[in-house]
Amino acid sequence: MEAYGTGTRGDALAAETRAGASSGGRRADTSRGEPLAEVPGVGPRADADGAWPRADTHGVRPRADAPGSKAAGAADAEVGALGARPDGSSRWRLTGEKCWISNAPEADFYTVFARTTPGAGARGVTAFLVPADRPGLTGTALDMLSPHPIGALAFDGVPVSADDVLGEPDRGFRVAMGTLNLFRPSVGAFAVGMAQAALDATLAHTARRDAFGGKLKDLQTVAHQVAELALRTEAARLMVYAAATAYDEDAPDVPQRAAMAKLLATETAQYVVDAAVQLHGARALERGHLLEHLYREVRAPRIYEGASEVQRGIIAKELYKELYEELYEKEAPR
């Protein structure tokens, strides 16, 4: 097995390679082999027997993060429609629904964000790690455009306790944001892998395809377009690696870098795959063709882990935050 290194950058390298090799759907926690115990901002999660099993442990299926709901948009996705009703000292009952959850209903554990303090905004959300076999927890698979393990979860008075809390009660928003900062470079890396697979197919096709008395690559318009695809793919790759490295180094600008990487890589992948289909012509639309598969796969990453519009909002917020911090430093009395 090829070694990719450690940390988030190693994960990004592995995700990109898998995307190009299999051109399949992203199963975040299966592909990452992510320890169930390690959640950003929380540290090791242990019970009486030690840490939770790893996602790659035999018989343990990948963890699923469950932030969304049918009624929730991006602004309140960390809360969704899930409420946590107190059930004695340091105990709650979870009631509500979560929808469009990766790895549901197949996962053995779910990271769940629920409202524990009404009216407290982001400070009233708690993160829980909930085993799939808890009473009252059921799930159904959803039929998506591209085959992918994704589903909906229903919570009917699911019991949780302080032992299930990730981090601290009412501080789950921090856990959610840390998780997104970790996963966004991974999504970007997978998108880069899809773009590279489409680019490789296009290079091979245009080099072989006879057209107008020569090869398709001999047409300047085609050659320039292929060069543009390569340029954009490499730029996205470098930004993803930079974001992953920043995360590993605990850099202060991780939220901005993660958002930029995810945005650029997923938008680039969409552009590259679409252009590759155009250069291949009708053959790329035939069922079973690599590009037909990629064309269906490439759409989802622009939505999950925060849609492109959300990433632009994060980037702008971080830029103005830096500006105001610089102005404050200049105007502060010395």
Nearest to 161 by CA among 264, 64, 90: 90
**Per residue in 139-154, is it b (16+ CB within 10 Å) or e — as a string?**
beeeeeebebbbbbbb
Q: Hey, which of 53-57, 69-73, 327-331 has the most confident mean pLDDT?
A: 327-331
pLDDT at residue 3, as a whole number: 56
98 has which bridge partners?
153
Q: What is the mean pLDDT of residues 177-202?
A: 95
Q: Enumerate the active-site residues.
A: 305
Would you call 179 exposed, middle or buried from its count of C-beta atoms within 10 A (0-12, 13-18, 19+)?
A: buried
**Per-residue pLDDT for 77 more than 50?**
no
Provide the CA 119 distance to its chain's centre, in angstroms.
28
For the record, the structure tokens of 135 come out as: 């009473």
Handedness of CA 122, 127, 133, 135 (dihedral sign): negative
Amino acid at 58: H
Q: State phi, psi for 46 to the nearest 5 degrees.
A: -135, 155
pLDDT band per the 50, 70, 90 thresholds, residue 25: very low
93 has which bridge partners?
85, 159
Q: State phi, psi for 214 to the nearest 5 degrees.
A: -160, -160
Rounded percentage of the chain residues whose pLDDT exceeds 90:
62
Rounded percentage of the chain residues whose pLDDT exceeds 70:
79
What's the rounded Cα separation, in Å, for the pair 218 and 230? 17
